[in-house]
Structure 1
Amino acid sequence: MIRKLLSLFGSTILLSTMATAAGAQDMMDEDARWSIAIHGGAGTINRDKITPEQDQAIRAALSEALEAGSKVLKDGGSAMDAITATIIILENDPHFNAGKGAVFTWDKTNELDSSIMDGSDLSAGAVAGINGTKNPILLARAVKDNSPHVMLSGEGANQFSREQGLEQVTPDYYATPYRLKQIEDLLARKVSAADVDYKFGTVGAVAMDKDGHMAAGTSTGGMTGKRWGRIGDSPVIGAGTYADDRSCAISATGSGEYFIRLGVAHEICARIRMRWPIAIAEAQLAVPKDEEGNYTYAVHASEFMLSDEEIQQIADDVIAELGELGGDGGIIYATPWGQAGYSFNTPGMYRGRATSNGEMAVAIYGDEE
């Protein structure tokens, strides 16, 4: 088995020897690999803006969600089930802008968006501008599984939710004192929308299961004070959510208009998918040749992976382009090779990741690993 390590810019290739007994064991271990990454929003998340009590509560919520998704994957469950279980917990927690705790529109109503995608067959479901459903991610999944459509919106999506027997709530379920104060301050012109939305509380999860299948999901209440039925990137497949077993799974959070314009989620997956065969060809060129000029070993895709550094560089490059357009926010990713991580251009992002190699951690601020 050939192992490939790339430098940060993908310029240095090192090749190891072929599989040994230890290498064969590595491949056996890889058959049981899984990974998951989660987010609860990105933005101006500094230590001076969050009390110690809030910090503790947010970390506890992220940990609970991460552990729920990890358990599904450890037990051999699907990536789809793992991200669904994870996002439900985040939607039920008022610290985030999704489900309970969703922000208010200009008219002091709630309009929630959500999407989900299965990387094994590229099936997807999304809903926009909904209310009445307790967990929007379940409605997005129902659209994927039980309708011929990819996206439903407004009252039609609400009707579909009721027909599917999903748990319904009254409009006051989403409200919290904190969110009500935000919209009231905005409407009273005490603060600007930019000041209100000092962080984006959208939630999301991405995962790879033991079968190598990818999944991604995102859920949000949108922007405080949004008007005219505004829809951001969260329910837009390819912008805020994307999953493809051939490349990666992505969930985004941030200034949605810019994520839509750049097609961030699909862009990252496309670059990974295009880079992989190029990297394999580069590795093949580095294999020694025999006296007749033939390669002594043929690099096979099944035993080859992009390095952690190269995956991170691709994600960082796209987020840098987002910033050049004027957009703020970040993404989480999972890959077919078991990597899980994030990239963001804001001071902080509520985030966490866990893998089958024992890693499990949550973080808030930009200076945390």
Structure 2
Amino acid sequence: MADPEKVHAVRVGWGLVIHGGVGVLPPEQLTPAVDGAYRDALTESLSRGFETLSGGGSATDGVVEAIKVMEDSPLFNVGRGSNLTSDGLVSMDASIMEGGTLSAGAVAGVRDVRHPIRLARHVMDDCPHVLLAGEGAEAFAREMGMASHEPDFFFTQRRWDDLQAAKAREAQGEAKPNTVDAGDEEIRDRAGTVGAVALDREGLLVAGTSTGGSANKKWGRIGDSPIVAAGTYAGSHCGVSCTGWGEYFIRHAVAHDIQARMAYLGVTLKEATEQVVLGTLEDHRAGLGGVVAMDRQGYVEMCFNTRGMYRGWVDEVGRVRVAIF
């Protein structure tokens, strides 16, 4: 029997696939208790998404609800567990896209919104634009009735310690360039993100991604997560959510490239994800990362070129599988 931690070509019918980022803790830090906490959080996210879909909610609803669970968890680099910028504050990004209409919404550089993915959906549904940033995005959140939260709401000691460690490596000249030679600390600093792709009973395919960005980032840096086609894409063939070194996912338009390979080359979802993640990114020494993806037939892929990726899926009968390595 196939190991559920390593199985490919899973078909969920209508359902949901999620990731919690490729910046996994090293084995010595991933104690049984910590491992269990991550698996429980992934399971809760999938269960919330499944409850939404099985209750008649759309794929958009399922993606938003699943991601909101992770945004509320201090375990993931998103929402209340977000990395801190060089000035010690959070700066969060998110995007969402519907495959049927190519409708999309995204926000970047928001500091006071509990659920950036919810705000991204408001941009998609209630705004003539696709991407809002900074104070403008926060003002739009107020217009949508979303509460503003103080910086302390997002503070965690773990992320503060991560920031100090990142600053120390930077001061000592130990921060490595964005290549596949980078060490575990750099991967965890830069590669934490969460995302989901859902297919509902009506055949709507939706992808969403949310992140706290890289630790110790400066100058208003924005990665791939709020960039449609780079960090998130849903089209006629598949939906994709990415996690990894954002600058390189932007340069290679990773999420859209997977969709394009299926559309123009006629390859399967498995072939497309592996060609991009294990081919393009590695061949061009273009950084570390992974994707979760689903096609219109309900086949799921979870492909990564790192040691691990927090991930899982739930199928149409409510069967849940989660994995880390």
* Same fold, TM-score > 0.5, yes or no: yes
Question: Of 259, 266, 271, which aligns to 1:313?
Answer: 271
Matching residue's letter, 2:262 = I
**Quick check: 1:256 aligned with 2:214?**
no
Matching residue's letter, 2:264 = M
Distance in 1 separating the partners of 2:317 and 2:54: 11
Output the TM-score relative to the length of structure 1. 0.78
Aligned to 2:204: 213
Aligned to 2:313: 353
Question: Shift in Å at residue 186 of structure 1?
Answer: 2.6
Question: Shift in Å at residue 60 of structure 1?
Answer: 0.1
Q: Residues 238-277 of structure 1: matches in 2 within 5 Å?
A: 238-244=229-235, 246-276=236-266
**Contact 1:202 1:222 (C-alpha < 8 Å) held by counterparts:** yes
- Pick which of 136-145 and 310-319 moved more: 310-319
Q: Deviations over 1:133-178 (max 9, x none)?
A: 1110011111111111000001111111111111321111111000
**Contact 1:138 1:166 (C-alpha < 8 Å) held by counterparts:** no
Distance in 1 separating the partners of 2:65 and 2:227: 21
Aligned to 1:107: 87
Secondary structure of the 1:168 match is coil
Distance in 1 separating the partners of 2:288 and 2:165: 23
Matching residue's letter, 2:270 = Q
Aligned to 2:219: 228
Question: Root-mean-square deviation (CA), in Å?
Answer: 1.9
Question: Shift in Å at residue 195 of structure 1?
Answer: 5.4
Aligned to 2:195: 204
Question: Of 122, 129, 146, which aligns to 2:109?
Answer: 129
Distance in 2 separating the partners of 1:75 and 1:338: 19
Question: Shift in Å at residue 332 of structure 1?
Answer: 0.3
Aligned to 1:177: 157
Secondary structure of the 1:49 match is coil
Secondary structure of the 1:100 match is helix
Change (3 A) 1:325 1:170: same
Aligned to 2:301: 341
Question: Shift in Å at residue 358 of structure 1?
Answer: 5.6
**Contact 1:116 1:141 (C-alpha < 8 Å) held by counterparts:** yes
Aligned to 1:57: 37
Aligned to 1:37: 17
Matching residue's letter, 1:137 = I
Distance in 1 separating the partners of 2:65 and 2:143: 22
Question: Shift in Å at residue 108 of structure 1?
Answer: 1.1
Distance in 1 separating the partners of 2:253 and 2:166: 30
Output the TM-score relative to the length of structure 2. 0.88
Secondary structure of the 2:17 match is strand
Matching residue's letter, 2:111 = N
Change (3 A) 1:184 1:43: closer
Distance in 2 separating the partners of 1:91 and 1:151: 20
Distance in 1 separating the partners of 2:232 and 2:246: 12
**Contact 1:110 1:171 (C-alpha < 8 Å) held by counterparts:** yes
Q: Deviations over 1:262-321 (max 9, x none)?
A: 100001011112244xxxxxxxxxxxxxxxxxxxxxxxxxxxxx7xxx321211111121
Q: Deviations over 1:322-356 (max 9, x none)?
A: 12222100000011001122110000000001122
Give the 4+ runs in structure 1 shifted more than 3 A.
43-46, 188-198
Question: Shift in Å at residue 75 of structure 1?
Answer: 2.6
Aligned to 1:164: 144
Change (3 A) 1:311 1:359: farther
Aligned to 2:62: 82
Identical counterparts, % of pairs: 45
